[in-house]
Amino acid sequence: MRGPHNIWRLVRTGATLERTGAMKIVLDAYDAPPLLRLAARIVGWPFQWLGHPGDPTMPPATRALTALGPAYIKFGQVLSTRPDLVGEDLARQLRVLQDQLPPFPTTVARRTVEEELGHSVNSIYSEFSEPVAAASIAQVHHARLAATGEDVAVKVLRPGIERAFRRDIDAFYLAASIIEFLSPASRRLRPSEVIAHFDGVVRGELDLRLEAASASTFASNTEGDDGFRLPAVRWQESGRRVMTMTWAEGAPLGDNAALDAAGHDRDALGERVLTLFLNHALRDGYFHGDMHQGNLKVAADGAIIAYDFGIMGHIDEYTRRVYAEILYGFIKRDYMRVALVHFEAGYVPADQDVDEFARALRAVGEPIFGMDATRISMGRLLSYLFDVTERFGMETRTELILLQRTMVVVEGVARSLSPQINIWEVARPVVEDYIRRNLGPRALARDLGRTAEVLARFGPRLPVLVERALVRQMSELDASARKPRSGGWLWFSGGLGAGIVLSLIAVVILS
C-alpha cells in the first residue's frame, strides 16, 4: 500500500547503505564533493543501526542491495554494466547481481512446479538439478523432459516475490512524490510517471506466461539474424510461475577469460551486441529490454544466445523514425537536423529557440568524435545532457525510458568486451540502412498503401458514419435556429463536403 508509512522504507534504505559500508563506496564511485560526503555521514551514521545487516560474506554494495530487495537489485544490475559511470571495482562487485544471487531451496522450486503445472515433478522431468543461476526475480534449474529426453532450463519465480516488489515499488512512488514536492523543477522529469513505467514493466516480468509469449514473438522477428539464437519455449511445461525452455549451452558473455580461452573475438562480439540491439529496436520496434551480461551467452560457434525475456521493449514506427533521425544527425554531426527533429516530434517546447538548442547539442556531440572511447567520461556527458534538457524545458519521454536505459546497458556490455569500441562507428551502417529503407519515396509509397488498407477496412462503415455526422449537425442547427450564427451555412456545407469526400474515397478503394 502506498502512503507515508513508506518513509520508514526510505529511511532504512539510507541506513542499510551506511551500515554495510556501501555508502562510502557509492560516494567514491561518483567522486562526491566533501560537503555531500559530510552531509551523508551526518544523516546516515546515527541511524545505521536501523539498516539491514545483509550477508557479511558479500562485498558492501552487493550486500546492501540484496538486503534491500529485488527492485534495488534491478537497479544494481544496470549499474554493473557501466564501469565508466561507477568505476571498475564497484561494477565488478555488482556483476554478481545478474545471476549469482543466493538461491531458494530446490524443494520449494519443485513444489512450485507441481502446484503450477498440476503434475509431479518426476512425471514431467526425468532429471531436475539444484539451481544453476539465481537472479532477483527467479532462479533456473537444469532439467530433462521425461517424454523426450531433451535438456531444458526451468525458470521458477521466487516465493513471495510479488509482495516484495510491491513493497519496494510503493516506497519508490513515495520517493517520487517527495522529490516532486520539494523540487518543482524536477516535475518536468515526471518522476511518478517514470516509476509507473517501471511498475508496469515489473508486473509483466512476474507472469512467466507473458515472458514465454515475448520469447516466441522475439524469436519470430530475429529468425534470420546471423550469429544470434534464442532458446525455444516449451509451452506444455510452462505457466504463470514456471517456464520451460530448451537448454542454451555457452560461455557467459561477462566472463572475458572464458571467452578468450574459447577463442572468441571479443571485439567482434562487442560490435555484434550493439548491431543486434539497434536492428531489433529500429527494424522490428521490439527489443530485449534487459540485455546485460547475465542474460547473454556465446555458443561454441560464436553465436550470441539471449535469454530471460521478462522485460521487452516496444516502440511504434513513428518513434523509431524519430529515434533513427536523431542518431543519424549525431553520426553526421548535423546538429540543426537533430534539433529540428526534436521540435517536430514535440520533444522540445515550441517556444524555445531552435538555433540555441542546436548549439547546445553540438556542445554535447562534438567531444565524442575523434576521441578514444576510454577517454570519454559518460558521467560528465550525461550530466551535461541533463543540464541541456533542463535549460530547454524538455520533459521525460516515458515511452522512451526503456529504450534509453537499454541503450546504456548494451553500450556497457559492448565496452566490457571491447573497451576501445566506438559506438558511433558501429551504429552508422545500421542507422543508414534504416534511413534508406524508411525515409524515402519507397517508404512514402508504403505508408500510403497502409493508409489505403486502413480506409478499406472502414469503407463499409463510412456511409453510416457520414449519416450520423450529418444527422448530428442538422439536429444542432435545428436547435440553434432561433439563434442565427454567422457562418452557419459554411459550417453545414463543410461537414457535407467532408462526408462526400470520405464517401468518394471509399468508393475508389472498394471499386
Q: Which CATH number goes with the domain that contains 117?
A: 3.30.200.20
Q: Is residue 136 part of a domain?
A: yes
φ, ψ for residue 147 (rounded to 5)? -75, -35
The three three-digit cell numbers of residue 444, written as one number? 512514402
Do both 87 and 198 map to the same domain?
yes
Lowest mean pLDDT among 100-104, 198-202, 270-274, 321-325: 198-202
Number of domains in the chain: 4
Most confident of 83-97, 154-168, 180-194: 154-168
Q: Is residue 448 part of a domain?
A: no
Neighbour-count burial for 360-393, b at 16+ CB within 10 Å, e otherwise: bbbebbeeeeeeebeebebeeeeeeeeeebeebe
Specify the pLDDT at position 55.
79
Do both 303 and 392 map to the same domain?
yes
Specify the pLDDT at position 257.
92
The Cα-based distances of 289 to 192, 258, 277, 328, 455 in angstroms read 21, 25, 9, 22, 34
Asked if 25 and 16 count as a contact pair (C-beta separation under 8 A), the reply is no
Do both 217 and 276 map to the same domain?
no
Domain enclosing residue 174, as ranges? 1-98+164-202
Do both 183 and 271 map to the same domain?
no
Q: Which of 182, 215, 247 is the last residue of a domain?
A: 247
Specify the pLDDT at position 488.
43
Q: Which of 413, 439, 465 is the last residue of a domain?
A: 439
Q: Distance (Å, rounded) from C-alpha 422 to C-alpha 85?
A: 17
Do both 174 and 34 map to the same domain?
yes
Do both 176 and 41 map to the same domain?
yes
Q: Distance (Å, rounded) from C-alpha 51 to C-alpha 30?
A: 22
Q: Which of 180, 215, 247 is the last residue of a domain?
A: 247
Q: Give percent above pLDDT 90 in the chain.
A: 27
Do both 260 and 402 map to the same domain?
yes
Do both 401 and 291 map to the same domain?
yes
Closest listed residue to residue 245, CA positions, set 259, 229, 258: 229
Q: Is residue 321 part of a domain?
A: yes
Do both 271 and 416 map to the same domain?
yes
pLDDT of 493 higher than 50: no
Asked if 382 and 390 count as a contact pair (C-beta separation under 8 A), the reply is no
Q: Distance (Å, rounded) from C-alpha 184 to C-alpha 187?
A: 6
Model confidence band, residue 105 (pLDDT cutoffs 50, 70, 90) = very high
Do both 255 and 397 map to the same domain?
yes
DSSP state at residue 239: -
Do both 359 and 387 map to the same domain?
yes
Residue 299 one-letter amino acid: A
φ, ψ for residue 229 (rounded to 5)? -140, 155
Q: Is residue 444 part of a domain?
A: no
| Contact partners, residue 91, CB within 8 Å, separation at least 6 | 79, 80, 81, 82, 83
pLDDT of 97 higher than 80: no
φ, ψ for residue 3 (rounded to 5)? 150, 175
pLDDT of 229 higher than 70: yes
Q: Is residue 447 part of a domain?
A: no
Query: What is the enclosing helix (H) or strand (E) of 296?
Result: strand 296-298
Q: Distance (Å, rounded) from C-alpha 456 to C-alpha 445?
A: 16
Q: Cα torsion at 383, 384, 387, 392 (round to 10°)?
A: -140
Helix ranges restricted to H, 395-422: 401-417
| Contact partners, residue 187, CB within 8 Å, separation at least 6 | 180
Specify the pLDDT at position 126.
95
Specify the pLDDT at position 498.
40
Strands 151-157 and 138-145: antiparallel
Q: Distance (Å, rounded) from C-alpha 499 to C-alpha 505?
A: 10
pLDDT of 506 higher than 50: no
pLDDT of 491 higher than 50: no
- Residues 124-131: what's their mean pLDDT? 95
Q: Is residue 449 part of a domain?
A: no
The catalytically annotated residue of 168, 290, 308, 334 is: 290
Asked if 154 and 140 count as a contact pair (C-beta separation under 8 A), the reply is yes
| Contact partners, residue 293, CB within 8 Å, separation at least 6 | 80, 81, 95, 98, 252, 253, 254, 413, 416
- Residues 88-95: what's their mean pLDDT? 71
Q: Give percent above pLDDT 70 in the chain.
A: 73
pLDDT of 497 higher than 50: no
Catalytic residue status for 301:
no
Q: Distance (Å, rounded) from C-alpha 376 to C-alpha 368?
A: 7
Average pLDDT, the chain: 78
pLDDT of 446 higher than 90: no
Most confident of 29-33, 254-258, 387-391, 410-414: 254-258
Do both 260 and 403 map to the same domain?
yes
Specify the pLDDT at position 387.
65
Most confident of 66-70, 80-84, 119-123, 398-402: 119-123
Q: Is 200 exposed, middle or buried (0-12, 13-18, 19+ CB in 10 A)?
A: exposed
Model confidence band, residue 369 (pLDDT cutoffs 50, 70, 90) = low
Model confidence band, residue 24 (pLDDT cutoffs 50, 70, 90) = confident
Q: Is residue 174 part of a domain?
A: yes
φ, ψ for residue 343 (rounded to 5)? -70, -45
Strands 228-229 and 304-306: parallel
Q: Is residue 450 part of a domain?
A: no
